[in-house]
A and B are shown apart, each in its own frame.
Chain A
């Protein structure tokens, strides 16, 4: 099909499907729209409606209690650290996995993807087993505390919350970067290296412009997931008002069970829903930019 350009062909395919009777098309579109509406859009409205059930005054009060503000602080702290660590890892790992050929590359790529497919609760459990009372790394942490005179706790404290959040969102950024870098190939970097450019210069001048939008896009997704992480953090954080994140606060309010506290939990949820919607919009903008960038 070399005689037809890509977009021409696509158009023909669309025409073939289109010229046929419209009934199937409209049935499929209707079912899809209904599915998306009932499964995805209605829950969003439901959160907002439920959060405003007791009026705006109650809403504002509910989202500004001491517990919620403390949880917001912990959430932001954990998210910022997580995004920094995972961005660094994502760039380094995707460079190592796409610019070189070595044995076991696919295996490492699979290992990086582990957090995608395991239960977040297991992530929490893993850190308890490592740093908790019976964990083998507990003496190491104790030793460091003795040496430095500090009192660092990991499990059931902020560092545990941060570690759990990092674990769960670990592959997000490398996952976005690897396909872009694979598609780009290594020719340009090789040429630059042969002409004498140093590693950092190559990255900054050649690789980075290619991955810029994919990186932004990965960072946004990672932020969203870090803000909302629940299962792993739930295992590692037990003190309301101190180590609770927003999702844990929502959980606590919801399980308290009174009509007021349930409305309050929806009010706190609405903050995260608004963030999720903003993330979706940004993500769409950057996805289109990243695609356009790739095609150039």
Chain B
């Protein structure tokens, strides 16, 4: 189709120049130029100054905390995400539609609201944190565990919504074949279904992970932001630097975050292109 059009030269549908121009102009003004400013501001720093800021202990710890907690949360979300998607696609039960709808709550709920609520619920006097503290002496709010819980909350819809459509479209003939040939259901699941879901799962994982690394509103309350206990996240450090008007430090840290985001975004896009190629060929 595309080739045939190229042969004839020119495009049949009108409006390419106009829509393409507007897209590029808005994208540049609103997104790319402001981000480029961060890049240029950070180039004003000499390499040694830059390194000095990045290697400050609290900055290093913040990166370790953000990346580590986001990774753990994304792994947990992948497991629960597969399960939720599976239950929602394959089983029928009462209130299924409500459950399906509620999955997207974290997309709609303002992050600050999620943040203060989770922080209160999991504090030593909260609805969930209270019993846990009284019975087991566990503290959740203001620890890394709390941080991971907030990131699970934020990330779960990414994984479920990435897997669900693929699972719905999954051609059941392989599954049936495996089942008829005598594979156990567990074997069928791990050898037949999981490989089919892998690209979608990686996309969901990548999105949840990327979102988790940069998350601000939902984690700053529950994390407690304690420097000694290493519960400060990178976004918090950047905001702190902004409040102290230390713009150089803020841009240097932001630059590293941007690089991480770009790598993750690239990774997600490569998976998605491969996935669409595969499905188009079938």
Contact = CB atoms under 8 A, between A and B. Distances in A.
B162 interface: no
A93 B11 CA distance: 17
Q: Is chain B's interface secondary structure helix, strand, loop, or mixed overall?
A: helix
Interface in A162-219: 163, 166-167, 170, 186, 189-190, 193-194, 198-199, 202-203
Contacts, number: 310
Contacts of A25: 91
B105 A230 contact: no
A10 B109 contact: no
A245 to B, nearest CB: 10
A273 B221 CA distance: 18
A101 to B, nearest CB: 4
A214 to B, nearest CB: 14
A134 B221 CA distance: 31
Nearest to A266: B116
B210 interface: yes
Nearest to B211: A117
Query: How many interface residues does chain A have, given as a range?
Result: 35 or more
Contacts of A16: 172, 175-176, 179
Contacts of A20: 185
Interface stretch (A29-37, A58-66, A141-149): A29-37
Given A9-B172, A29-B91, A40-B103, A129 B108 contact: no
B13 A193 contact: yes
Given A17-B90, A39-B152, A119 B213 contact: yes
A193 B26 contact: no
Contacts of A100: 11, 13, 16, 20
Given A134-B41, A167-B30, A170-B30, A121 B235 contact: yes
Interface string B204-245: 000100110111110001000000000000110011001000
Interface string B16-27: 101110111011
Given A47-B117, A167-B31, A283-B104, A122 B13 contact: no
A119 B117 contact: no
A39 B153 contact: yes
Given A12-B172, A280-B108, A111 B242 contact: no
Nearest to A203: B15
A283 B250 CA distance: 37
Contact of A110 (B108, B126, B175, B269): B269
B13 A224 contact: no
B102 A35 contact: no
Given A96-B19, A106-B269, A121-B235, A265 B91 contact: no
Contacts of B242: 121, 124-125, 128, 235
Interface stretch (B49-57, B138-146, B194-202, B258-266): B258-266
Contact of B251 (A17, A102, A129): A129
A92 interface: yes
7 tightest A-B contacts by CB? A228-B110, A119-B214, A13-B172, A126-B34, A231-B216, A230-B217, A96-B19
12 contacts: A20-B185, A35-B80, A43-B118, A50-B120, A99-B15, A119-B257, A120-B214, A120-B216, A125-B250, A129-B34, A227-B110, A247-B111
Interface of A: 1, 9-10, 12-14, 16-17, 20, 24-25, 28-29, 31-33, 35-36, 38-44, 46-47, 50, 85, 89, 92-93, 95-97, 99-102, 106, 108-130, 132, 134-137, 163, 166-167, 170, 186, 189-190, 193-194, 198-199, 202-203, 221, 224-225, 227-231, 234-235, 246-248, 250-251, 254, 262, 265-266, 269, 272-273, 276, 279-281, 283-284
Given A99-B13, A280-B101, 7 more contacts: A17-B90, A32-B88, A36-B84, A100-B13, A128-B242, A231-B235, A269-B110
